[in-house]
Chain A
Amino acid sequence: MGMSYRRYLSGARIYGCSECKTHLATIHSMISRAFNGQHGRAYLFENVVNIIEGEPVDRQMTTGNHTVRDIYCVKCGETLGWKYDKAYEPAQKYKEGKYILERNLLVDVQ
Chain B
Amino acid sequence: MRLTSNDADSTLSVSPDELPQAGPSTPALSNGHNGVLKGNGFAAPFTNGNGKAPLADGNRAEKHTQSVARVSLPGTTLYDDSHVDREEFVRLVIQSLRDVGYIESAATLEAESGYTMETSDVSRFRQCILEGDWDSAEDTLLRLGLSEEEGLWEAKFLISQQKYLELLEAREIASALHILRNELAPSSPEPEQLHTLASLLMCQDLEDLRRQASWDGAGGSSRRRLLANLQRYIPSSVMIPQRRFATLLDQAREYQQARCLYHNAPTNARTFSLYADHACEPEAFPRVTTAILQVHDDEVWNLQWSHSGSFLATASRDKSAIIWRIGSDADPSTREYHAQFILRDHKYQVGCVAWSLDDSILLTASENFIHMWNTRTGALIRVLDAHFDVVTALAWLPDGSGFISGGLDRKIILWDIDGKQRDTWGRTPIRVTDLAITPDFSKLVAIGMYDAPLSLPPTGGAIAASDVASGGTATPPTGSTAPAPANRPAENRIIVYDLLTKQLETSVKLEGELTSVKVSQDSRYALINRALDSFGLHAEIHLWEISTGRTVRKYTGYKQSRHVIRSAFGGVDENFIISGSEDGNVFIWHRDSGTLLETLPGHGSGSVNSVAWNPANPKMFATCSDDHTIRIWEADPAWTVGSGALSEGSHSLERDGSGKGKGKGREWVGDSLGGAPGFSMAGTSRSL
A contact residues around B396 at 8 Å (CB): none
Q: Is the CB of B456 within 8 A of A2?
A: no
Q: Is the CB of B609 within 8 A of A3?
A: yes
Q: Is the CB of A34 within 8 A of B563?
A: no
Q: Is the CB of A36 within 8 A of B487?
A: no
Which of chain B's residues 448-478 have a Cβ closer than 8 Å to chain A? 449, 451-452, 454, 456, 458-459, 463, 465-474, 476-477
B390 at interface (Cβ–Cβ under 8 A)? yes
Which applies to chain B's interface (DSSP): helix, strand, loop or mixed?
Answer: loop
Q: Is the CB of A34 within 8 A of B456?
A: no
B626 at interface (Cβ–Cβ under 8 A)? yes
Checking B408, B477, B563 against A3 with a beta-carbon cut-off of 8 angstroms, the contacting residue is B563
B177 at interface (Cβ–Cβ under 8 A)? no
Q: Is the CB of A61 within 8 A of B451?
A: no
Tell me the complex Cα distance, A4–B582, Å. Answer: 12
A107 at interface (Cβ–Cβ under 8 A)? no
Most buried by A among B433, B474, B486, B490: B486
B contact residues around A75 at 8 Å (CB): 367
Q: Is the CB of B459 within 8 A of A28?
A: yes
Checking B349, B351, B486, B490 against A29 with a beta-carbon cut-off of 8 angstroms, the contacting residue is B486
Q: Is the CB of B463 within 8 A of A62?
A: no
A contact residues around B473 at 8 Å (CB): 34, 62-63
Q: Is the CB of B467 within 8 A of A34?
A: yes
A82's nearest neighbour on chain B, judged by CB, is B472
Q: Is the CB of B299 within 8 A of A3?
A: yes
Checking A3, A27, A37, A49 against B301 with a beta-carbon cut-off of 8 angstroms, the contacting residue is A3
Tell me the complex Cα distance, A33–B451, Å. Answer: 27
CB distance from B67 to the nearest CB of A (A): 81
B306 at interface (Cβ–Cβ under 8 A)? no
B contact residues around A26 at 8 Å (CB): 484-486
Q: Is the CB of A12 within 8 A of B564?
A: no
Q: Is the CB of B317 within 8 A of A8?
A: no
- A1-B606, A49-B486, A61-B471 known; A8-B390 Cβ under 8 A: no
B contact residues around A47 at 8 Å (CB): 484, 486-487
A25 at interface (Cβ–Cβ under 8 A)? yes
B531's nearest neighbour on chain A, judged by CB, is A4
What's the tally of chain A residues with a CB closer than 8 Å to chain B?
40
Which of chain B's residues 606-622 have a Cβ closer than 8 Å to chain A? 606-607, 609
- A11-B456, A63-B472 known; A6-B463 Cβ under 8 A: no
B431 at interface (Cβ–Cβ under 8 A)? yes
B contact residues around A10 at 8 Å (CB): 451-452, 454, 488, 490
Q: Is the CB of A25 within 8 A of B563?
A: no
Most buried by B among A9, A32, A42, A94: A32
Q: Is the CB of B454 within 8 A of A27?
A: no
B562 at interface (Cβ–Cβ under 8 A)? yes
Tell me the complex Cα distance, A13–B568, Å. Answer: 39
Tell me the complex Cα distance, A47–B487, Å. Answer: 7
- A1-B606, A2-B607, A5-B408 known; A34-B465 Cβ under 8 A: yes
B contact residues around A34 at 8 Å (CB): 465-469, 473-474
Which of chain A's residues 18-55 have a Cβ closer than 8 Å to chain B? 25-37, 42, 44-49
Q: Is the CB of A31 within 8 A of B459?
A: no
B392 at interface (Cβ–Cβ under 8 A)? yes
Q: Is the CB of A31 within 8 A of B477?
A: yes
Checking A1, A4, A8, A46 against B484 with a beta-carbon cut-off of 8 angstroms, the contacting residue is A46
B contact residues around A48 at 8 Å (CB): 486
Tell me the complex Cα distance, A9–B609, Å. Answer: 25
B contact residues around A63 at 8 Å (CB): 471-474
A contact residues around B452 at 8 Å (CB): 10
Tell me the complex Cα distance, A9–B431, Å. Answer: 12
Tell me the complex Cα distance, A5–B390, Å. Answer: 8
Q: Is the CB of B451 within 8 A of A8?
A: yes
Q: Is the CB of A4 within 8 A of B564?
A: yes
* Contact digits for B372-408, partner A, Cβ 8 Å, 1 yes 0 no: 0000000000000000001010000000000000001
A contact residues around B449 at 8 Å (CB): 8
- A9-B486, A28-B481 known; A35-B606 Cβ under 8 A: no
B248 at interface (Cβ–Cβ under 8 A)? no
Tell me the complex Cα distance, A105–B463, Å. Answer: 21
Q: Is the CB of A6 within 8 A of B609?
A: no
CB distance from A65 to the nearest CB of B (A): 12
B contact residues around A42 at 8 Å (CB): 472
Tell me the complex Cα distance, A77–B350, Å. Answer: 17
* Contact digits for A84-96, partner B, Cβ 8 Å, 1 yes 0 no: 0000000100110
Checking B433, B459, B468, B469 against A5 with a beta-carbon cut-off of 8 angstroms, the contacting residue is B433
A contact residues around B468 at 8 Å (CB): 34
Q: Is the CB of A4 within 8 A of B459?
A: no
CB distance from B631 to the nearest CB of A (A): 16
A contact residues around B626 at 8 Å (CB): 1-2
CB distance from B606 to the nearest CB of A (A): 6
CB distance from B87 to the nearest CB of A (A): 65
B contact residues around A4 at 8 Å (CB): 562-564
Tell me the complex Cα distance, A36–B47, Å. Answer: 113
B482 at interface (Cβ–Cβ under 8 A)? yes
CB distance from B462 to the nearest CB of A (A): 10
9 more A-B residue pairs beyond the given contacts A34-B469, A34-B474, with a C-beta to C-beta distance below 8 A: A2-B563, A2-B606, A3-B299, A3-B607, A4-B562, A10-B451, A10-B488, A11-B486, A36-B469
A sample of 18 cross-chain residue pairs with beta-carbon separation below 8 angstroms, ordered by A number, consists of: A2-B582, A6-B408, A8-B431, A8-B451, A8-B490, A12-B454, A26-B486, A28-B481, A28-B484, A29-B486, A30-B463, A34-B469, A34-B473, A36-B470, A46-B484, A62-B470, A62-B471, A91-B476
